[in-house]
Amino acid sequence: MLSSRRLLISITIFSFLFFGCKPRTPQLTFAVGGASNEVEYWEKIVSEFTDSTRIDVVLLRQPTDTDQRRQGLVIPLRSRQQDPDIFLMDVIWVGQFAASDWLEPLDSVVATGDVNLADFFESIVNQVDTYHDSLYALPVYNDCGLLYFRKDLLEKYGLKPPVTWQQLIRSADIVQENERITNPHFFGFVWQGAQYEGLVCNFLEFAASNNGGIIDSAGGIIVYTPENIRAADLMHDLIHKHKISPPNTYTEMKEEETRLAFENGNALYERNWPYAWALHNKEGSRVKGKVAAALLPRGHNGQHAAALGGWHIGISKFSDNKTEAMTFLKFVLSYATQKKLALNLGWNPGRSDLYEDADVRRKMPHLDVLKNSFDHAVARPTSPYYTQISEILQQNQNAALSGKSSSDEALARAQREINEILQRYNE
């Protein structure tokens, strides 16, 4: 009896000495949000990573709302907390976080050859992920504006997909006039004009396609230009002059309102993000099998342009597990993982080489249009004060859409207010 007790004590002491003194496996914290199915699939990705590397990863679930996700990262980063170690960022956060010195540079993974920048869209990496000549993030999911259209209606009226905005206006007017005989709720073109971030994306596309834009050649922010005024006038005229866009464009139309109008058979053209493709072609959709996608139109002597969106991965400068975080980053950016995200979530790959993958192309038949759009993608400013700049643009552009201000007055006022912010922070 005594010997058994001694044996038990000896085993207990040995176990404590062996396991208690054994170094703990580093535990990464990965912050990611989105729809429930997306977060659930990230759990599978994390599990595969742990099985192959023996590195534990805690998945920090963030809300679906983008602003709440940003705030959930800003608070720990601003207070220099060690967690989360690694996270996904909206494209407009990368420059802000890098300028705040919150991100770990990724130049080392490129220098060692662990990540090949040639596998990604060069223009996206240059516009979004590079700050002061250093690399701070890389794309996991690319996003940009697209033009959806009813191919059956264009065929019905002997029309072709528009290349220019004037072609879109003419064809939308023809189809709208005829379709309203049986559907009084039909409009030629629906897009996002409500006062929120989506309006900035739409304005950027109209401006860039008319040889304008928000960022000048020196990297400054300039909105009060003749090209931008003409673009803002065009947006206003689509609603009030040509009347091919609904009157509630500047009060209610965001992504989902636009999608539902198109999906319910009440529009010929729709500007939206790639996520709408699968929903338009799902069972029960009134436009299933009748939809095609194209580049957004260009202005006269202009070029095609699409506002750049998406999610990019980065590592906290304050992480206490940077080596393991780099390993996870490379895993997420790998061909195999990016392909799984494309096939299982319908995510547009951050890697450009996946756009030639046969399996992905079968799953996403609009891939060629997407790839072409990414080559024409235009990023929003990477200023650390972009949130304030965006609010100014939203308010003034929405005033121009509603007719409360002329485009000239609205953009002149926006420029003054933006300059005040930049001067305040010595930009």
Q: What is the pLDDT of residues 209-268, one digit of tens each?
A: 999 999 887 778 999 999 999 999 999 999 999 999 999 999 999 999 999 999 999 999
Return the pLDDT at 354.
96
Return the pLDDT at 18.
36
Return the pLDDT at 140.
97
Checking phi first, is residue 403 left (phi over 0); if not, alpha (psi -120 to 50) or beta? left
Asked if the structure places residue 10 within a domain, the reply is: no
The answer to whether residues 203 and 187 belong to one domain is yes
CATH number of domain containing 66 = 3.40.190.10
SS3 424: helix
The answer to whether residues 231 and 283 belong to one domain is yes
Question: Which of these, 159, 421, 198, lies nearest to 292 by C-alpha position?
Answer: 159
* Dist. CA 35–CA 217, nearest whole Å: 38
Q: Other CB atoms closer than 10 Å to residue 133's CB: what's the count?
A: 6
* Dist. CA 304–CA 119, nearest whole Å: 23
Q: Other CB atoms closer than 10 Å to residue 189's CB: what's the count?
A: 29
**Which H/E stretch holds residue 8?**
helix 2-20
Q: How confident is the model at residue 365 (pLDDT cuts 50, 70, 90)?
A: confident
Query: Which long-range contacts (C-beta less than 8 Å, at least 24 apart) are formed by 14-21?
Result: none
Pairing between strand 146-150 and 291-294?
Answer: antiparallel
In contact, 215 and 166? CB cutoff 8 Å: no
The answer to whether residues 291 and 404 belong to one domain is yes
The answer to whether residues 187 and 291 belong to one domain is yes
The pTM of the full predicted model, rounded to 2 decimals, is 0.86
Mean pLDDT of 286-309: 95
Cα 350 to chain centroid, rounded? 11
In contact, 313 and 86? CB cutoff 8 Å: yes
Q: Which amino acid is at 189?
A: F
The answer to whether residues 178 and 325 belong to one domain is no
Q: pLDDT digits over 189-207, tens only?
A: 999 999 999 999 999 999 9
Question: Which of these, 200, 206, 193, lies nearest to 252 by C-alpha position?
Answer: 193
**Which residues lie closer than 8 Å to 80 by C-beta, 6 or more apart?**
318
The answer to whether residues 229 and 321 belong to one domain is no
**Six-digit token pair at 68?**
């709440």
Q: How confident is the model at residue 427 (pLDDT cuts 50, 70, 90)?
A: low
Give the number of domains in the chain.
Answer: 2
Return the pLDDT at 3.
47
The answer to whether residues 103 and 163 belong to one domain is no
* Dist. CA 10–CA 391, nearest whole Å: 68
Q: How confident is the model at residue 376 (pLDDT cuts 50, 70, 90)?
A: confident
Return the pLDDT at 325.
97
In contact, 415 and 216? CB cutoff 8 Å: no
Task: HSE, CB side, 13 Å, CA atoms: give it for residue 2.
Answer: 0
| pLDDT over threshold 80, residue 134 | yes
| pLDDT over threshold 90, residue 295 | yes
* Dist. CA 41–CA 44, nearest whole Å: 5
Q: Of 341, 358, 378, which marks where a domain is finished?
A: 378
Return the pLDDT at 23.
45
Asked if the structure places residue 195 within a domain, the reply is: yes
**Which H/E stretch holds residue 139?**
strand 138-144
Asked if the structure places residue 16 within a domain, the reply is: no
Return the pLDDT at 25.
61
Q: Of 360, 378, 396, which marks where a domain is finished?
A: 378
* Dist. CA 237–CA 403, nearest whole Å: 10
The answer to whether residues 75 and 151 belong to one domain is no
Pairing between strand 306-315 and 377-378?
Answer: parallel
The answer to whether residues 45 and 190 belong to one domain is no
Question: What is the extent of the structural domain holding 46?
Answer: 24-143+309-378
CA distances from 103 to 74, 94, 106, 367, 368 (A): 12, 9, 9, 32, 33
Residues recorded for the chain: 427
Mean pLDDT of 363-367: 88
Mean residue pLDDT of the chain comes to 92
Q: Which residue has the tokens 């709408």?
A: 276
For every residue of 142-196, DSSP letters joined together read EEE-EEEEEHHHHHHTT----SBHHHHHHHHHHHHHHHTTT-TT-EEEE---SSS
The answer to whether residues 56 and 122 belong to one domain is yes
Q: pLDDT digits over 1-37, tens only?
A: 444 444 444 434 333 333 344 444 668 999 999 888 8
Return the pLDDT at 20.
44
Asked if the structure places residue 18 within a domain, the reply is: no
Q: Which residues pair with 88 in a beta bridge?
A: 313
Q: Other CB atoms closer than 10 Å to residue 255's CB: what's the count?
A: 18
The answer to whether residues 361 and 261 belong to one domain is no
Question: Which of these, 236, 238, 240, 244, lies nearest to 177 by C-alpha position?
Answer: 244
Using CA of residue 232, residue 234, residue 237, residue 238, what is the dihedral sign? negative
Helix H, strand E, coil C: the string for 242-307 is CCCCCHHHHCCCCHHHHHHHHHCCCEEEEEECCCHHHHHCCCCCCCCCCEEEECCCECCCCCCCEE
Q: Which residue has the tokens 């609009």?
A: 366
The answer to whether residues 212 and 230 belong to one domain is yes
